[in-house]
Structure 1
């Protein structure tokens, strides 16, 4: 994009933003009515008109039912979409809303509804309007939570969600350029008041950005840091893929039971710590049934496992030691154990309810 963060996006630049989607059968554009998503819709419509053949564009607005103004904003998006010659649907998040963790729950509901809309429209991608500003804010939020390298990579340009490709074509575009684009085109937009609500984390961090920028930590710098961390994360993932192949080649033990991941403890111990951590994460995600585990809990498990492996390799042998279970823990619905010089990860037994344990 242009180095001038306040210049409108040209037709040529927009063509580059959307070029990879030219052969898609259909696309869903997630449009809330705010400046970022309205700019996404306007730029995509202009790009599509420049093509002899291209994907069908479907605009979807998700009404979370949290603000009375949302219905009116959805109607305004529909009006603009119709003017641009695009189909529009409004989807509503129905049912009870949680009293805590509302932003995360609303985000999950939005992506679920968007994926459903994509499948119904025969679309291969859902396009969202996340910008460079959003990327910087996401990095800061995850930094304060103590996220690992994968989390600090923030948002990827392309990712899979519910069988649909989630694409963020504006991820390297500053919000100021999108606003400049809409002003030149004389396209109106709304501002969601929750974006300034200090009861939520993201708006509070957003308010700090001018102070951080004065110290050299501007949005461009944070986005660049996120890209570099994403590059490092991709490299570690390649190393972890190689480590899995290494463990299989070095394995001289019996074939594991179906549904169980198993590898030699000594070979596992020879790998770098970050790689061992990711191997555990992969196995737990594959065999657990309670969702992704917290990184801190996996780190604690790895520390206990490393200690048990070291004991098994350096401790004084005793009768039956080779068959003794040196560690047995459950995490995120997976059972992790160390016995006979091997690490095993399998689905954990279902938890018994308190009522069931009393025989009621």
Structure 2
């Protein structure tokens, strides 16, 4: 895992409050409704929410629309900005975000982090640092829910990347509308919204309000994996299959639904394996009564419940081969399969993890 230094508070500013909430004659009804539905799905409705704002067109338009929805719902809104310190121009981006906050009379909190690309690489390290900083900023602002500006094009790119990396049904579900991480609930209300429509709104907002979003040049550098998909594959797909983003976004929704069904089946199957009270062992004989596909499914589910990483197909196949080769009570030989820092054994007919 890439190491990142502890995020350090950078600055906090509050939008200047006038006698009435700041409002602009601007906004897409469809995009406003998407944010409103996301907030309406929360029970109870939070008194305050945050929105992650990088300063780019996507997050800026989410911030603008969220400000209007929050005003209508009587919810306090906070802008959360993470300064990665990877480019000199990032200081200007922070200023742009705080200017937008002033324009909309919304409190803005920012934090600078230092990213160490050793280990999993710069993209993974930056993502890890960003979420850590967002958690710290949310705690400072007193919010437990944060809006993210991921859209349909982001979702389609994620499906492509997961597919190329060999992800299973759960991975192909890509980004979920709600995500729990670090004690926060992240909301993605715009997963069905195209980037083209967001860019049109950003251009319109620039004409109405005089505020212009920032542009990150690394988004076009194909040395980064996601940028390579965007710069090399997307033009070809746009030319041959117009609207492919919507198709892959639909595929992601269907994959998440299928994953939920598989999760329910795996939960039921594990309950039928006479699991121990702590869940760390189960009956070998009961496991053998399942079909081969469900044997694999429940093993993955059980390993995940133990906090272990998912095994490769080859490692899972070897584990299942050994489990099938044991005596029904596991007395004929001692099975020991190392998986990460854990050891999977079979003792007296019980498969257990140590």
TM range (shorter): 0.7 to 0.9
Paired position in structure 1 for 2:200 = 180
- Residue of 41, 44, 52 corresponding to 2:63: 41
Write the mapping of 1:141-290 to structure 2, written as runs, cut at 5 A. 141-186=161-206, 187-207=211-231, 208-216=233-241, 218-248=244-274, 256=276, 261-287=280-306
Comparing 215-224 and 33-42, the one that deviates more: 215-224
Secondary structure in structure 2 of the residue aligned to 1:188: coil
Secondary structure in structure 1 of the residue aligned to 2:124: helix
Paired position in structure 2 for 1:24 = 46
- TM-score under structure 2 normalisation? 0.83
The alpha carbon displacement at 1:329 in A equals: 1.8
For residues 220-242 of structure 1, give each alpha carbon's deviation from its aligned partner in whole angstroms, at most 9, with x where no partner exists. 11111111111111110111111
- Residue of 332, 335, 340 corresponding to 2:340: 332
For residues 301-348 of structure 1, give each alpha carbon's deviation from its aligned partner in whole angstroms, at most 9, with x where no partner exists. 33223222322258xxxxxx84344421222322211232221123xx
Secondary structure in structure 1 of the residue aligned to 2:272: helix
Which sections of structure 1, spanning at least 5 residues, go unmatched? 1-7, 315-320, 347-360
The alpha carbon displacement at 1:279 in A equals: 3.3
Are the equivalent residues in 2 in contact too, given 1:27–1:127 (CA < 8 A)? yes
C-alpha separation in 1, matches of 2:167 and 2:181 = 21
The alpha carbon displacement at 1:95 in A equals: 6.2
Give yes or no for the alignment of 1:84 onto 2:104: yes
C-alpha separation in 2, matches of 1:307 and 1:96 = 41
Q: 1:108 to 1:274 in 2, by over 3 A?
A: farther
For residues 138-184 of structure 1, give each alpha carbon's deviation from its aligned partner in whole angstroms, at most 9, with x where no partner exists. 11111111111111110101011011101111111111111112222
Secondary structure in structure 1 of the residue aligned to 2:37: helix
Secondary structure in structure 1 of the residue aligned to 2:325: helix
- TM-score under structure 1 normalisation? 0.81
C-alpha separation in 1, matches of 2:292 and 2:124 = 31
Secondary structure in structure 2 of the residue aligned to 1:300: helix
Secondary structure in structure 2 of the residue aligned to 1:57: strand
The alpha carbon displacement at 1:269 in A equals: 2.5
Are the equivalent residues in 2 in contact too, given 1:9–1:178 (CA < 8 A)? no
The alpha carbon displacement at 1:98 in A equals: 2.6
- Residue of 294, 302, 309 corresponding to 1:293: 309
Are the equivalent residues in 1 in contact too, given 2:31–2:65 (CA < 8 A)? no
C-alpha separation in 1, matches of 2:28 and 2:290 = 49
CA RMSD of aligned residues (A): 2.3
